[in-house]
Structure 1
Amino acid sequence: MFFLRFLAKRIVAIIITLAAVIAISYIMMYASPGGFMSTTQIATALAPLAAQDPVAYQKVMEQFQQRYGLNLPLWHQVLLYIWHSFTFNFGNSMENPSITIMSQLKSALPISVILAFASVVVSVVVGIPMGIIAALKRNTWIDYTVTTLSMFGQAIPSFVLAVIFVLIFGVVWQNVLPVTGWGTFSEAILPVISLAAGNIGVVARYMRGSLIETMRQDFIRTAKSKGVKYWPLVFKHGVKNSLTALITVIGPQFAFTVVGTVWVENIFAIPGLGKVINTAFTNFDFPLAITAVFILGATIMVTNLVVDLIYAWVDPRVKLQ
């Protein structure tokens, strides 16, 4: 019963937060100078009609506004987009009115998810051993080296690292690794590393701190006094219990990495969610932009909820409240 109440409260909080995010995003786009019909491509196409037949041009504008609800009051437009988002009735984009937004997401979203998942896997595979080594060699040059590399990885944003990779492998070391495209293993290497670098630092530091704290616990001293050998003590008792704390790090990492792919995908010309979002906001494509905001926001919030539930299930000491 308590679990259901907790879950209901979190779901209600997610719904309210997502509604607020959609409303703020839409109002900011609405208040921004310009609009879809004033973007370069559309304005150029309609310029002859506006000059030759202003009445026909006005009818085209009215039909367009009526189709996308832009003739309604602002509060009505906001509520309409919130309702369409939560009912998954995303409709068609302004840029491609013959193609549904859902079909665009079906081709773009999996690419971003795969890219984010691969980067998180790399960060876990590399970061956990780094953290273990740093913890076991605490206050030595190995520990200082791992800590320094972790701080560098966290300090450099993924999009800055992506630009550096493009300059190195696109100008200096040409034909070593591709800097554009998606579909082959070699094309995924640089984007994955760009996204994983910061996450590796986070995982390594958390693993180091968690393992140091675990090795100080009473049950470790008890196991040592019973004659448990060093390496079984470290991995069976120390590392195993330290990994629980990483759940609260890895889960949100995946969600935020999906968001982070937006900039990296644009730099490496990857046809993922980043390209869709960039096109939507650049062209004031309201339906597509709000849908992208909804998808990203829901990914972060739902992932955080799942992480909380898994953490409470894995560690009985943790209560849901």
Structure 2
Amino acid sequence: MAVATFILKRFVQIVITLILVMSVSYIMMYYSPGGFMNTTTMATVLAPLQGQNPILYQQVMDQFQSRYGLNLPLWQQIVKYVWHELTFDFGNSMQNPSLTIMSQLKQTLPISTLLAFGSVLLSVVVGVPLGIVAALKRNTWIDYVVGTVSLAGQAIPSFVLAVIMVLLFGVALPGILPIAGWGTWKDAVLPIVCLSAANIGVVARYMRGSLIETLRQDYIRTAKAKGVKYWPMIYKHGVKNSLTAMITVVGPQFAVTVMGTIWVEQIFGIPGLGKVMQSAFTSFDYPLAITSVFLLGSMIMIMNLLVDIVYALIDPRVKL
């Protein structure tokens, strides 16, 4: 019963937060200079019509604004778009009026999700051992090397690393791994590596700090006093208890990475959600842009909710 109440309260908080985030995002787009008719090829196409037949031009503009609700007062536009998002009625994008946004998401979201899952998995597989080694060799040259590598991974943006990878495998080492396109598992290798670099640094540093703190606990000293062997003690009492802290890192990382693949997908020519999001905001495609905000906010908050629940299930000391 307590779990159900907790989930219900968090669900209400998520809905309220999503409404606020989408409303603010819409207002920012509304008052930003430009607009769909001014920033896309639609303006070029309709420019001659404006001078040749102003009446027909106005009719086209009125029909367009009426279809997407842009002729309504601002508050009604916000209510219209927010309600459509909350009821999963995303409608059609302005750039592709014949395609529903849902159909575009079905094509692009699985690709971005695969890249995000692969990058988070790689960050855990690489970052956790690095953090363990750094913690056990604290204040030695090994610890300093791991710390330097972790900071370097966090400092280099993923799109800069993507450009380096393209130059490396496209010029210096051609043919080993593809640098553009999508179709085979090899196409995902370089994007996943680029997306996981920063996450590896975060996981390694969190794991190092968590394990160091765990090894200072009284039950570790008790295990030593009882004569528990070193490596079983490190694994059973140290590493396993420290891994719970990783849940609070990995969960939100996945959500952010799904929606943060824009530049990496652009550089590697991957038809994922990042390309759709980038075109939506640059062209003032209101339905698609607000849907992107809705997806990003939903993923982050739902992952945080799952993290809290899983954390409470794993660690008996934590209560919801």
Q: TM-score, normalised by structure 2?
A: 0.96
Q: Partners of 1:136 and 1:47 in 2: how far apart?
A: 68
Q: Partners of 1:39 and 1:150 in 2: how far apart?
A: 40
CA RMSD, aligned part only? 1.5
Q: Partners of 2:309 and 2:158 in 1: how far apart?
A: 29
Question: Is it true that 1:138 corresponds to 2:138 in the alignment?
Answer: yes
Name 2:32's counterpart in structure 1.
Answer: 32
Residue identity matched to 1:162? A
Is residue 154–residue 199 contact of structure 1 (8 Å, CA) maintained in 2?
yes
Residues 89 and 141 of structure 1: CA distance in aligned 2, closer, same or farther (over 3 Å): same
Q: Partners of 2:40 and 2:257 in 1: how far apart?
A: 32
**Pairwise CA distance, 1:38:** 2.2
Question: Is it true that 1:71 corresponds to 2:71 in the alignment?
Answer: yes
Name 2:288's counterpart in structure 1.
Answer: 288
Name 1:168's counterpart in structure 2.
Answer: 168
Name 1:196's counterpart in structure 2.
Answer: 196
**Pairwise CA distance, 1:296:** 1.0
Stretch of structure 1 that moved more, 161-170 or 120-129: 161-170
**Pairwise CA distance, 1:160:** 2.2
Is residue 120–residue 196 contact of structure 1 (8 Å, CA) maintained in 2?
yes
Name 2:276's counterpart in structure 1.
Answer: 276
Q: Partners of 2:145 and 2:246 in 1: how far apart?
A: 21
Name 2:260's counterpart in structure 1.
Answer: 260
**Pairwise CA distance, 1:193:** 0.9
Counterpart secondary structure, 1:93: coil
Residue identity matched to 1:47? A
Residue identity (%): 69
Name 1:222's counterpart in structure 2.
Answer: 222
Q: Partners of 1:154 and 1:136 in 2: how far apart?
A: 22
Q: Partners of 2:215 and 2:188 in 1: how far apart?
A: 38
Name 2:10's counterpart in structure 1.
Answer: 10
**Aligned 1:45-56 pairs, distance under 5 A:** 45-56=45-56
Residues 122 and 274 of structure 1: CA distance in aligned 2, closer, same or farther (over 3 Å): same
Stretch of structure 1 that moved more, 144-153 or 207-216: 207-216
Q: Partners of 1:203 and 1:14 in 2: how far apart?
A: 26
Name 1:155's counterpart in structure 2.
Answer: 155
Stretch of structure 1 that moved more, 256-265 or 110-119: 256-265
**Pairwise CA distance, 1:279:** 1.3
Q: Partners of 2:283 and 2:303 in 1: how far apart?
A: 30
Q: Partners of 2:262 and 2:308 in 1: how far apart?
A: 26
Q: Partners of 2:256 and 2:90 in 1: how far apart?
A: 23
Q: Partners of 1:172 and 1:214 in 2: how far apart?
A: 45
Q: Partners of 2:312 and 2:75 in 1: how far apart?
A: 40
Is residue 158–residue 260 contact of structure 1 (8 Å, CA) maintained in 2?
no
**Pairwise CA distance, 1:106:** 0.5
Note the residue ranges of structure 1 that are not aligned, 5 or more in a row.
none
Q: Partners of 2:292 and 2:118 in 1: how far apart?
A: 21
Residue identity matched to 2:19? A
After superposition, the C-alpha distances for 1:134-178 in whole angstroms (9 at most, x for unaligned) are 111122111111111111111222222222222333344433332
**Pairwise CA distance, 1:12:** 1.6
After superposition, the C-alpha distances for 1:221-258 in whole angstroms (9 at most, x for unaligned) are 22222222111111122111111111111111111211
Q: Partners of 2:40 and 2:112 in 1: how far apart?
A: 28
